[in-house]
Amino acid sequence: KAGVTQTPRYLIKTRGQQVTLSCSPISGHRSVSWYQQTPGQGLQFLFEYFSETQRNKGNFPGRFSGRQFSNSRSEMNVSTLELGDSALYLCASSKGTSGRETQYFGPGTRLLVL
């Protein structure tokens, strides 16, 4: 069974630009969650999508947005990039139908903002 895949794996952008990251969940998983990981703040929850609807949201500014498609693939967008947005962005998928499933992480997209 294929795992969670994320593209691109590495990305370099400059301040003020926008970026779109993509996540393909494990087949059969309908929930996709996004996390930001930095050395200073650790892993922080961004948002979760289930059946094309945002179900949970963390404490990030509106520059961070996402969406989910009918095939459960998800994209995350960050507009007006800031230096502090440099991080490893991880997505995780789960079946999403109850409160007891575990999440499986992808390898992440490493974003560097210059």
Binding site for another protein (CB under 8 A): 4, 31, 33, 35, 42-45, 48, 50, 55-56, 58, 90, 92, 94, 96, 98-108, 110
- Closest to another protein by CB, 19 vs 34, is 34
Nearest to 11 by CA among 85, 86, 111: 111
The full length of the chain comes to 114
Cα separations (Å) of 57 from 27, 52, 62, 84? Answer: 23, 14, 11, 20
Tell the smallest beta-carbon distance from residue 15 to another protein (Å). Answer: 25
Nearer to another protein, 3 or 16 (CB): 3
